Amino acid sequence: MVDKIFLSQVEIYKLRIPLIAPFITSLGRDDSAENIVVVIRTNAGISGFGECSPYMPINGESIETCFIVAQYFAKLLRGKNLLEIEDCIIAMDKFIYGNASIKSAFDMALYDIASQNASVPLYKFLGGENNKSIITDYTVSIGDPQKMAADALKIKEDRFPAIKVKLGTHGPTDVLRIKTIREAVGNEIPLRIDANQGWEVEEAIATLNALAPFAIQYCEEPISRWNFMELPRVKNASSIKIMADECCGDEHDAQRLIQLNACDLMNIKLGKSGGIFKALKMVRLAEAAKIHLQIGAFMESRLAMTAFAHFSLSSPIIQHFDFDTALMFKEDPINGGIVYEKNGTIHITNTAGLGATIEQSYLDKLEKIIV
């Protein structure tokens, strides 16, 4: 183990992978994942891998903006000790506001380097233990109630532990969607719902209370993210637990929501927080407030999902896992990393670092730039 590591070059790749079926929410439709992979090569012979999946309606980034900003970061980090992760994060934040998605890819690569240098798996580098089951739910896209019910039944038959249902286009129709799904799958399997900011405040309250008889575990982001001051009212009026998502980006958002007593749970995504460094601060806040957490994802491949799984072992307060989108890809170019079982159970290896890479022969086919 060394105490200083410097980058020799940064490779930035555009990773585009079609989905098996369209993924549809109240915010829009995705037919493919459009991600950025960052590979930091170092003078120590260690390569760090990172990935992000920018999503314009939530983090205001695209594959094109991330590709450009990544080139700035590659130049910015030249000459810096990459093991001083906090200094690297501060430098990126000072250089440009926002851009949490591409920052998370660099953050991930830095943690991969640091944990490889320490010769421990990433989860152990983060202070965690591989001592709990990580089982992802699986998501039903929003659409026709009968189609959603058929999709939900397939998820149940595949033995996933919970079904996540996208809602948020029209309250009464959303109630019909859940009623139809419950009739198809029965009452045993948990249902989780995600409105993706789709309801107005009064609509959210009415819809949530109308959904109460259907045994919903929790609802993610019922109202617009900017309207977080109304979230406590929704929470207090709802018999269904409220999980903050889009309005809970980084540690400052988490602190504000806790002070407002605005939610029962929070959903951390590294693509919102800017990466592991800030997400760990969110975990510490949640631990102090005794608020349970979900670790979620955008449309990342199994590369980033591996980082999310490692991160999930960093605290017992993290109890829910939404890592299904990598299972929706038509191809999987990742070597190593987490392994999905049929029922959504995720296994993490004890390889040093992230333990997930992409073959150079595959990367060479992608649009790229080397800095």
Model pLDDT for residues 202-249, shown as the tens digit of each residue: 999 999 999 999 999 999 999 999 999 999 999 999 999 999 999 999
- The confidence band for 342, taking pLDDT boundaries of 50, 70 and 90, is confident
Is 166 in the active site? Answer: yes
Q: Choose which CATH entry (1.10.10.10, 3.20.20.120, 3.40.50.150, 3.40.640.10) describes domain 124-356.
A: 3.20.20.120
Reported pTM: 0.95
Q: Which of 103, 269, 272, 278 is catalytic?
A: 269
The DSSP 8-state label assigned to residue 142 in this structure reads S
Is 14 in the active site? Answer: no
Q: Which pLDDT value is given to residue 54?
A: 97
- The confidence band for 90, taking pLDDT boundaries of 50, 70 and 90, is very high
Is 194 in the active site? Answer: yes
Domains in the chain: boundaries? 7-120+358-370, 124-356
Average pLDDT over residues 262-268: 98
Residue with tokens 């640091």: 114
Is 245 in the active site? Answer: yes
Provide the pairing of β-strand 318-321 with 7-25.
Answer: unpaired
Spell out the CATH class of 7-120+358-370: alpha beta
Is 221 in the active site? Answer: no
Q: Which of 61, 174, 245, 253 is catalytic?
A: 245
Query: Distance (Å, rounded) from C-alpha 266 to C-alpha 139?
Result: 18
Q: Which pLDDT value is given to residue 4?
A: 97
| Percent of the chain whose predicted confidence (pLDDT) is above 90 | 98
Q: Which pLDDT value is given to residue 294?
A: 98
The CA-based angle 218-221-224, given to 5 degrees, is 155
- Nearby residues of 97 by Cβ (< 8 Å), 6 or more positions away: none
Q: Which of 220, 230, 246, 300 is catalytic?
A: 220
Query: Distance (Å, rounded) from C-alpha 102 to C-alpha 279?
Result: 15
The DSSP 8-state label assigned to residue 316 in this structure reads T
Q: Which of 166, 235, 272, 278 is catalytic?
A: 166
- DSSP, collapsed to helix, strand or coil, labels residue 167 as coil
Q: Which of 194, 203, 230, 253 is catalytic?
A: 194
